[in-house]
Structure 1
Amino acid sequence: MTKIIFMGTPDFSVPILKEVHKKYGVDLVITQPARPVGRKKVMTDPPVAVLAKLLGIEVYQPESMTTDEAYDKVKEISPDLLITAAFGQILPKRVLDLAKLGAINVHASLLPKHRGGAPIHRALINGDDKTGVTIMYMEEKLDAGNIISSAEIEIKDDDNTGSLFTKLSQLGAKLLDETMPKIIAGENDSIKQDDQEATFSPNISKSDEVIDFTLPVRDVFNHIRGLSPWPVGHTTVDGKRLKIFSAKLTDDKSEAAAGTIVGKTEDGFSVVTGDGYLINLTEVQLSGKKKSDAKNFISNNSHLIGERLGAHYDS
């Protein structure tokens, strides 16, 4: 029987773990420690830990995989295969080398494009028309190992980060299921990545979350959906933070300054962007208030029509 250690953390990893365990069994799940969540800071396990415990799989949650303890834990299992999917930590070579058949990663992009921790967010923000999943051998250099298999999907205008996470996690589970038999049999091929074609997608920073309405309409639209439903892009209005969860493109134009709220629409309110086109905001949340559809928001705050989004604030 093939001994497998699975390493993953967020919802993206859940369908992949479920599929691997169903087909092959998983001897150990390594995931991130519980973290405080919400206003009450309740210590909460990551989704992979929750599933693993439900499945009765042993769970190990180290702060770092660089310690002797973590190395010894992996060595104790003596795995044939180490599978990672959005684990969130870089693995040292001595840990990777413990897997007899190799250590593989299920990465949510078409490598060598979008190496790094936020490939789904960045694919949307960058306006890519397609993305996908790549299964690759792991090495110490970030997401640079040989490619075993890949599969792509189209990015549609109604996609956001949430929908792409779901699509790509399901695609990743399917692709891994198709790829695993040859890996276990030692019959799979792999190809070297072209480093000259590589692009990098670092984790989203606080500054990345600010929506800039001076950009062209398509860039504003992509930025909003690339941050939805998390961490959520924001701007300011009347000195307060305004989170923007969703928006729609329009063909309408205005000569008003970029960022100006020009009026109500059937499902929200329209804002001028850098190329003069209007973007229709459809779901927002003002600081200190509940999330609401933008139509109700602007109906209750009609005095904001004519105001510009994006004033400086200290928070």
Structure 2
Amino acid sequence: MTGRAVVLAYHDVGYRCLSVLLAHRMDIPLVVTHRDSPTEQIWFANVASLAGSHGLPVAYAEDLDDAALADAVRAAAPDFLFSFYFRRMLPPATLSLAPRGALNLHGSLLPHYRGRVPVNWAVIRGEGQTGASLHYMVAKPDAGNLVDQMAVPILPDDTAGDVFRKVTVAAEVVLDRSLPGLLAGTAASRPMDLVKGSYFGGRRPEDGRIDWTRPAADVHNLVRGVAPPYPGAFTVLAGRPARVLRTLSASRPTARPAGTVYAEGDRLFAACGDGRALPILSLEVDGNSLDAAAFRKLLGDEALASEPGRS
């Protein structure tokens, strides 16, 4: 059995999940995506290009207010409405235009990490796993009945980018294995217990400021949770702007004050608030990447973070 679907999609998850729908030969009368922002680093696949290569009509969310979007969906007369990393909440009136269901793929193991940037939050909070969840959309974000989900591990030195790639694959698998049941009308779903879950808001680049008084594990989790392609964790060393882009979880004892970044042999370390030092794999000062030798030449054997800030 086939189905007709309006797809609202963006980012890698949107690209891969649209690919799944195409592989299942779904009738897609409309794809709604976002224009890439000139202020955002675009490192992910383009949904509009995929849709265009298959001759699918494309509209941009930035051109449509809620009423216009509802009109476009209504005109497309879909059975299903799918949202894949679409950056806008849909009002209940729009959701109701899909008689066989409006579904969303979320990048966490719902009901945990409902809300914004769930992969980054899971890494920053030191979780050992996350995943992808397919659920029905309701007025409350990420709260409708759960159809399926798949877990992926978060390894101790995984960055948010590493984890996002795993979550993208999990999203593809979950959608692919759920579609036959959805199309046949036999897919089971279950309510979420939101009391047992969690909700997080968005993050801003300035939230990446390192608080060196925190334990080494917390600093490491922040660094990897905002590591490139995200804006990166930052501090100030000897009055110079600096970004700590990669660290290792294998910290070691140190007597140096928290916030001291130092060279030892051919390696760099950063002292944290619990008396442990993180190995630094990638450090930028004044926009320039520094290894241990370049660090010594610029700052000496060690430099103290003058603005420890907050994480």
TM-score by length of 1: 0.90
Choose 176-185 or 254-263, whichever is displaced more: 254-263
Distance 1:198 1:103 in 2: 22
Task: Name the amino acid aligned to 1:123.
Answer: A
Alignment check: 8 A CA contact 2:241 2:285 kept: yes
Aligned: 1:98 with 2:100: no
Say if 1:187 and 1:265 are closer, same or farther in 2 by CA, change over 3 A: farther
> Which whole-Å deviations, capped at 9, do the CAs of 1:126-149 have from their partners, x for residues lacking one?
000111111100001011111111
Distance 1:124 1:236 in 2: 23
Aligned: 1:31 with 2:27: no
Choose 117-126 or 233-242, whichever is displaced more: 233-242
Residue matched to 1:188 = 187
Choose 139-148 or 8-17, whichever is displaced more: 8-17
Aligned: 1:48 with 2:47: yes
Residue matched to 1:18 = 19
Residue matched to 1:240 = 240
Say if 1:192 and 1:217 are closer, same or farther in 2 by CA, change over 3 A: same
Residue matched to 2:125 = 126
> Which whole-Å deviations, capped at 9, do the CAs of 1:57-102 have from their partners, x for residues lacking one?
2111022764321111111111111111110100011110011210
Say if 1:48 and 1:153 are closer, same or farther in 2 by CA, change over 3 A: same
Alignment check: 8 A CA contact 2:211 2:308 kept: no
Secondary structure at the residue paired with 2:273? coil
Residue matched to 2:146 = 147
Task: Name the amino acid aligned to 2:236.
Answer: T
Say if 1:180 and 1:271 are closer, same or farther in 2 by CA, change over 3 A: same
Secondary structure at the residue paired with 1:188? coil
CA shift, 1:251, in A, is: 4.1
CA shift, 1:250, in A, is: 3.0
Alignment check: 8 A CA contact 1:265 1:280 kept: no
Residue matched to 1:309 = 305
Residue matched to 2:256 = 256
Task: Name the amino acid aligned to 2:69.
Answer: A
Alignment check: 8 A CA contact 2:223 2:232 kept: yes
Secondary structure at the residue paired with 1:133? strand
Task: Name the amino acid aligned to 2:34.
Answer: Q
Moved over 4 A (4+): 43-46
Distance 1:243 1:102 in 2: 45
CA shift, 1:263, in A, is: 2.2
Residue matched to 1:298 = 295
Distance 2:297 2:104 in 1: 49
> Which whole-Å deviations, capped at 9, do the CAs of 1:151-191 have from their partners, x for residues lacking one?
11111123111111111111101110000111111111111
Secondary structure at the residue paired with 1:213? coil
Distance 2:175 2:187 in 1: 12
Alignment check: 8 A CA contact 2:242 2:284 kept: yes
Alignment check: 8 A CA contact 2:261 2:269 kept: yes
Alignment check: 8 A CA contact 1:12 1:165 kept: no
Task: Name the amino acid aligned to 2:249.
Answer: L
Distance 1:27 1:69 in 2: 16
> Which whole-Å deviations, capped at 9, do the CAs of 1:229-255 have from their partners, x for residues lacking one?
102111111222211211113342112
Residue matched to 1:107 = 106
Secondary structure at the residue paired with 1:35? coil
CA shift, 1:312, in A, is: 7.2
Task: Name the amino acid aligned to 1:15.
Answer: R
Distance 1:91 1:201 in 2: 19
Task: Name the amino acid aligned to 1:102.
Answer: G
Residue matched to 2:158 = 159
Distance 2:293 2:152 in 1: 35
Secondary structure at the residue paired with 2:13? helix
Distance 2:5 2:232 in 1: 36
Alignment check: 8 A CA contact 2:13 2:172 kept: no
Alignment check: 8 A CA contact 1:139 1:145 kept: yes
Task: Name the amino acid aligned to 1:13.
Answer: G
Aligned: 1:73 with 2:69: no
Gaps of 5+ in 2: none
Task: Name the amino acid aligned to 1:307.
Answer: A
Task: Name the amino acid aligned to 2:244.
Answer: I
